[in-house]
Amino acid sequence: MALKTNYEKWYETEDYFWGTEPAQLCYELVKLVPPGKGVKVLDIGCGEGKDAVFMAKQGYEVYAFDITTNGISKTRKMAKENNVEINAFVADINDFRINEEFDIIYSTGTIQYLEDDKIDGFFEKVKNMTRPGGVNWFNVFVDKPFIPLPPDWDEGEKMWRTGKLFSYYPDWKFERVDETIFVCHSSGVPHVHCMDVLVARKYPKEIITVEDLNE
């Protein structure tokens, strides 16, 4: 089946389309779930690996996938150059299968590639794959009547309705709920995005008591 993304082409060059510095979200995640032996992370739509490599360098056990073979080759190359190991593989967010549990599952700039009929199942899957006490960190571009479609909007991408992302986590604790409007320089043409961000934690207990909070 033909890829519904231009990233395979955009990742063909030697240099890194997204650079090599980790996103701010990685520093946030390190504070929320500190690294340690056996603490597992999944990066969904890892691109060329800058965030996955950073997380591996912190000491997490990292799994990462992207639909592009060029992105995964570059992720493996960056991991090797940084002397870390990553379980990096090619997969589609719409039908990936991993028989593992994670303490952190995150994805930046990618869940808008979910097909409409795959969204509910995706959240059920990632929530089930998260260990109690673990977190999910997701962002997604949302539609606003006052913001034009970006010039590099990809074939498989879909704008989400504001707040939809948050609606999948009523049974988890919200660590951060946010909506931001910002300028993006991808493709070399500055443009505006609106993005919803959710960081939610799977509560480690079935029932919370007064004593739990007084501890």
Residue type, 209: T
Residue 110 found at the interface with ligand SAM (CB under 6 A): yes
Cβ nearer to ligand SAM, comparing 45 with 134: 45
Q: Which of 56, 74, 78, 109 binds ligand SAM (CB under 6 A)?
A: 109
Length of the chain: 215
For the chain, give the longest Cα–Cα distance.
56
Report the C-alpha gap between 79 and 83 in whole angstroms: 6
Residue 196 found at the interface with ligand SAM (CB under 6 A): no
Cβ nearer to ligand SAM, comparing 106 with 168: 106
Q: Which of 39, 46, 55, 197 binds ligand SAM (CB under 6 A)?
A: 46
Quote the least distance from Cβ 122 to ligand SAM, whole Å: 10
Q: How deeply is 119 buried, as exposed, middle or buried, from its count of CB atoms within 10 A (0-12, 13-18, 19+)?
A: middle
Quote the least distance from Cβ 94 to ligand SAM, whole Å: 6
If we measure between CA atoms, which residue out of 160, 157, 150, 156 comes closest to residue 184? Answer: 150
Residue 50 found at the interface with ligand SAM (CB under 6 A): yes
Quote the least distance from Cβ 39 to ligand SAM, whole Å: 20
The answer to whether 194 touches 142, Cβ cutoff 8 Å, is yes
Helix ranges restricted to H, 107-205: 119-128
Q: Which of these ranges, 64-72, 171-179, 196-204, 206-214, lies near ligand SAM under the rule CB under 6 A?
A: 64-72
Residue 45 found at the interface with ligand SAM (CB under 6 A): yes
Report the C-alpha gap between 1 and 95 in whole angstroms: 13
Report the C-alpha gap between 80 and 182 in whole angstroms: 34
Residues binding ligand SAM (CB under 6 A): 5, 7, 18, 23, 45-47, 50, 66-68, 71, 92-94, 108-110, 113, 156
